[in-house]
Chains A and B, each alone.
Chain A
Amino acid sequence: MTDLQFDKHAPSALRLHGLHKSFGRPAVDGLDLEVRRGELYALLGPNGAGKTTTLRMVTGLLAPDAGQVEVFGIDMARDPAAAKRRLAYLPDDPMLYGKLKPTEYLEFVAGLWGMRAEDAEPRAHRLLDWLDLTPHAHELSEGFSRGMKQKLALAGALIHEPELLILDEPLTGLDAAAARQVKDLLLSHVEGGGTVILTTHILEVAERLAQRIGIIRQGRLIAEGTLAELRERTQGGSLEDVFLQLTESR
């Protein structure tokens, strides 16, 4: 687990209350969750547990059947624009346009978030440099490898300096170097006061990066806490042991 410190009593960056979503059968079933400011929170669960559905409701892509999503105290249902302005979402499948070059993509995303040119341009250059995309800035992204696409999408997510960064399986398909870059970037975002929520199937990532871990199963939060707290609760060894014990025991 990371050594980053966070204030346990900090106000929440995200609060979910009684969240429900059903697609014929319940995908998210009365989920209550709170993520504090400046925290890196890992949301874990087996396939079909409701992780992605939860994140899509948090980002305003799906309307909950019931319950409430609050981003920095702003109700997503009441003022979605204000809530969305403070967050960024990076799904498993990067939201890119194959026929745009990286610079054009960042221009577009900056436009969507209403950034001023003088803020967006230096920030975009910094991100492209940071993620080693500058040499490819004149190429269409359709020819990029999976890792490069993911890094470009991450640059798009970070360009408006979101306070809350939400990532769904951000390390899927990345090589070791790219994965390291993304992990460093997430830690640096949290060190800078930002909040990160991520889902991952790579438990080692959650174990190393996350300050708190939530485990959901069948749309409900079944356990939450620091790695030490979860271990204590299950008398497990690694996070893998804890995870399997919790998700298979019910």
Chain B
Amino acid sequence: MKALPPFRNAAPGSALWLLGHELRHAWYGAAVNRAGKRRPATTTLVIGLLGWVALHAFAYALLSKLGDAARADRLLAVAAGAPLLISSTFMLSQALRSSVIVLFERGDLDLLLSSPLPSRSVFATRLLGVAVSTGTLYMFLFSPFANVGLVFGRPGWLAIYPVVGALATLAACIGMLLTLLLVRLLGARRTRVVAQVVAALAGAALFLLTQAYNFVSRGSDPNATAHLTKRLIAGGMLAPDSLLWLPGRAALGDILPLLAVVLLAVAAFALTLKRTHRFFVHGLQEAASTSRARARPGGPPRLRVRHSLFDTVVIKEWRLIARDPHLVSQVLLQLIYLAPMLFLILSKGDAPLAPIGASLPLLCASLTASLAWIMISAEDAPDLLLSAPAPLRLIRLAKLAAAAMPPLLLVALPLAWLVVRAPVAGLMVCFAVSGAVLEAGLIVLWLGRPAPRSNFKVRGKENFVCTVFEMVNILSWGAAGWLLVAMTLPDSDMSALGAAAALAAASVTLLLAWLFRRRPG
């Protein structure tokens, strides 16, 4: 990528020049630049620009409706603060990931630290690079409100720019401090895994908290949501004057909160630089070079060669998954969004059956597709399997079974509960779950493309066709589960017809996946 104007003329070795280097690398690793191209593709630029214009239109429509309502001003700090706070959890997640990348994965740290550049500048620009890469997306999302605010005679809203920058800087500092602390406590190798798991959890933290709040309050307080709103209005801890909404008030141009937020970010940056610079230069290198895991001596090595190839493959797949906590956390995070269903089952004895009938196939199909991708498409040593005399068909069957068994075990208990409570409906859900799992695995087997495990999160972008088939499968079996259960309930006029349509959609999807299957090249 050609350097941007401010960096193009920077003196080699200057802080600005180093920052340009950081940002260039951040662009190469950016999610929108999976191909690692030097320049953004024209399509990317056009889509980005259109999206930005659309956000301006959205902001305009929203602010037009807001008008001059007196109550709005009072709650505006909350309305502005809430998205900023939510975004902060995602920023922290991104900052943690970026910190791991810039400290361990980019591989240019030795080069920079062995050069005559001051190590403090190297660390400062690295930290700044993390802040910029963390804040860019949110600047893109929030800046239209600042610009449109100007049109509506609210120039104070231009403070959104420094506030987003300050929040990104704070997230970068916390992310870097946490990463370096983990290095000190756990060593470099474990830090990579733990930081990525924490990053994944930080991204979902808000959702988890709201679900936990719903769950805890459901038993004792049936009107929990109403009471929360009341507390918000009445002046409790979530009142508009609360410190919690300080970023919101700052973003609206309130001068003191703005100063506080910006000064906090500057202080955090300076403090991070001062407190961790030495460890960054010396400790990190030592930790990285002594990070090889030493297993405890466990007596003489024992081999357990199994009699069946099927068992051998299944055990190998499960071992590989179980020893990859980062991957496990990514897979399980997908399921967090199905947590409300579990809360429903656990909290109510008279839970509605049809939503459960939809949720279980959804959950199983989603989990099976993820595991099947890891086990089949992301096989680490495909040449070993191909060069072995073992029948490939049996190996694939074992991989499918290894991917299908964990989801089935996971839903075994809810299914058993359902069968006991409503036998016919329970059996219908068993059928839907089985169909969903089988089809999810077969779609990946037929349409999946080889890829490294590290591509798990972006697999959807890399194989769009497979993702579409997976989605249709998940939705078809979810709908089938719902409607098959509804058929067993009174007043189920159109359920049979709907169930037949959903099952037909699932069957057609399977047939199409088979027709479009990849043939060995």
Chain A interface (Cβ within 8 Å of chain B)? 59-61, 80-82, 84-85, 87-89, 91, 95-104, 106-117, 120-121, 124-125, 128, 134, 137-140, 143, 156
Residues of chain B with a CB closer than 8 A to A82's CB: 389
Query: Which residues in A have their C-beta under 8 angstroms from that of B189?
Result: 143
Q: Does B275 contact A (CB under 8 A)?
A: no
Instruction: Find out whether the CB atom of A97 lies under 8 angstroms from the CB atom of B380.
Output: yes
CB-CB contacts below 8 Å: B405-462 with A: none
Cα separation A111 to B391 with both chains bound (whole Å): 12
A140 touches B323 (CB 8 A): yes
* Size of the chain B interface, CB-CB below 8 angstroms: 34
8 Å CB interface, B168-210 against A:
189
Nearest Cβ in chain A — how far from B243, in angstroms? 45
Q: How far is the CA of A215 from the CA of B312 in the complex (A)?
A: 40
Q: Tell me which residues from 67 to 82 in chain B have a Cβ below 8 Å from any Cβ of chain A.
A: none
A16 to B380 CA separation, bound complex (whole angstroms): 30
Knowing that A97-B380, A103-B302, A117-B304 touch, tell me 18 more A-B residue pairs with CB under 8 angstroms: A60-B387, A61-B387, A84-B387, A85-B389, A87-B387, A89-B383, A95-B384, A97-B381, A107-B312, A110-B305, A111-B390, A114-B309, A114-B389, A124-B303, A125-B303, A138-B297, A138-B298, A143-B292
Looking at the complex, which one of B305, B309, B320, B384 makes contact with A117 (CB distance below 8 Å)? B305
For residue B383, which residues in chain A have a CB less than 8 angstroms away from its CB? Answer: 61, 89, 91, 95
Min C-beta distance of A155 to chain B, whole Å: 12
What residue of chain A has the Cβ atom nearest to residue B310's Cβ?
A111
Question: A138–B301 contact, CB under 8 A?
Answer: yes
Q: Look across to chain B and name the residue whose beta carbon is closest to the beta carbon of A122.
A: B303
Q: Is the CB of A96 within 8 A of B380?
A: yes
Question: Does B388 interact with chain A (Cβ within 8 Å)?
Answer: yes
User: Are A139 and B301 touching (Cβ within 8 A)?
Assistant: no
Contact B320–A99 (Cβ < 8 Å): yes
B interface majority secondary structure: loop
Let me know if B316 and A139 touch, CB within 8 A. Answer: no
B319 surroundings in chain A (CB, below 8 A): 99-100, 104
Residues in B458-502 with C-beta less than 8 Å from chain A: none
CB interface residues, B 289-346, toward A, < 8 Å = 292-298, 301-307, 309, 312-313, 316, 319-320, 323-324
Q: Which residues of chain B have C-beta atoms less than 8 A from A84's C-beta?
A: 387-389
Asked if A120 contacts B297 (CB within 8 A), the reply is no
Q: Which residues of the partner chain A approach B390 to less than 8 Å between Cβ atoms? A: 81, 111-114
A142 CB, nearest partner CB in chain B, Å: 8
B294 neighbours in A (Cβ, 8 Å): 139
CA distance A97 to B316 in the complex (A): 9
CB-defined contacts of A60 to chain B, threshold 8 Å: 386-387
Say whether, besides A100-B316, A113-B388, A121 and B293 are in contact (CB < 8 Å).
no
Q: Which residues of A contact B380 (CB under 8 A)?
A: 96-98
Q: How far is the CB of B196 from chain A (nearest CB, A)?
A: 15
Minimal beta-carbon separation of B316 from chain A (angstroms): 5
- In angstroms, Cα B387 to Cα A89, docked, is 7
Q: Which residues of A contact B387 (CB under 8 A)?
A: 59-61, 84, 87-89
Question: With a CB–CB cut-off of 8 A, which chain B residues contact A134?
Answer: 301
Interchain nearest-CB distance for A225 vs B (Å): 29
Closest to B391 in A: A81
Least Cβ distance of A22 to chain B in Å?
Answer: 13
- Once the chains are docked, how many angstroms separate the CA of A124 from the CA of B383? 21
Smallest beta-carbon distance B311→chain A, Å: 8
Q: Are A125 and B305 in contact (CB under 8 A)?
A: no
Cα distance A95–B379 in the bound complex, in angstroms: 11
Residues of chain A within 8 A of B391, CB atoms compared: 81
CB distance from A14 to the nearest CB of B (A): 14
Q: In the complex, are the beta carbons of A139 and B312 less than 8 A apart?
A: no
How many angstroms from the CA of A156 to the CA of B385 in the assembled complex? Answer: 12
B418 to chain A: closest CB distance in Å?
A: 36
**Contact (Cβ within 8 A) A111 B298:** no
Q: List 10 A-B contacts (CB under 8 A).
A: A97-B381, A107-B304, A107-B305, A112-B390, A113-B390, A117-B305, A138-B301, A139-B295, A140-B323, A143-B293
In angstroms, how far is the closest chain B Cβ from the Cβ of A128? 7
| Chain B residue contacts of A116, Cβ below 8 A | 305
Cα distance A95–B388 in the bound complex, in angstroms:
12
For the complex of A and B, the 10 pairs showing the least CB-CB separation, nearest first, are: A111-B312, A137-B301, A112-B388, A95-B381, A95-B384, A117-B305, A84-B389, A138-B295, A99-B323, A85-B389
Q: Do A120 and B305 have beta carbons less than 8 Å apart? A: yes
B301 — nearest CB in chain A belongs to which residue? A137
**Contact assessment for B303 and A112 in the assembled complex, using a CB-CB cutoff below 8 Å:** no
CB distance B320 to A100 under 8 Å? Answer: yes
Say how far B364's CB is from chain A's closest CB, in angstroms.
Answer: 25
The distance in angstroms between the C-alpha atoms of A209 and B448, with both chains bound, is 43
